[in-house]
Structure 1
Amino acid sequence: MCTIVPISLSIGANRIVPTVSIPYPLGNPELSPAEEKHLRRDLVLKAFKALTTKVDGQTVF
């Protein structure tokens, strides 16, 4: 999980899951608590999917 995809690509990460922003990678303080919980859950589920997906080379999810 990363906030700046080009950096992850440049260092050779195989699985890259983009996040929200640099100061709040897994959240957004402008959302309601329920909306932010939904956002975080979606990002974590996407990361789990990335870990269980077979990849050949770098993949951005």
Structure 2
Amino acid sequence: MHVCTVTPISKTVGAARISGAQAIPYPTGNPNITVEKEELVKRETVIKALNLLIE
């Protein structure tokens, strides 16, 4: 499972499961939103990645 911001690179190297992330400097978060909203974004990113593992 690869959580990344530049998915074409992951595809090029042959990653089997790829989950797109938010942005290059903050792949699993966003410092411009509230802490509560950022926690939800992080949780959604991880859950999306975990779901790809069980597909």
Q: Structure 2 length normalisation: TM-score?
A: 0.93
Alignment counterpart, residue 45 of structure 1, candidates 44, 47, 50: 47
Deviations 1:22-61 (A, max 9, x none): 11010000010010000000000001101111xxxxxxxx
Alignment counterpart, residue 35 of structure 2, candidates 33, 36, 48: 33
More strand by share: 2
Q: CA RMSD in A?
A: 0.5
**Percent identity over paired residues:** 42
Mind listing any 5+ residue stretches in structure 2 that lack a counterpart?
Answer: none
Give the number of the structure whose alpha-carbon radius of gyration is greater.
1
Q: Does 1:17 align with 2:19?
A: yes
- Where in structure 1 do 4 or more consecutive aligned residues deviate above 3 Å? none
Q: Looking at both structures, which has the greater relative contact order when contacts are Cα pairs under 8 Å and sequence separation is at least 6? A: 1
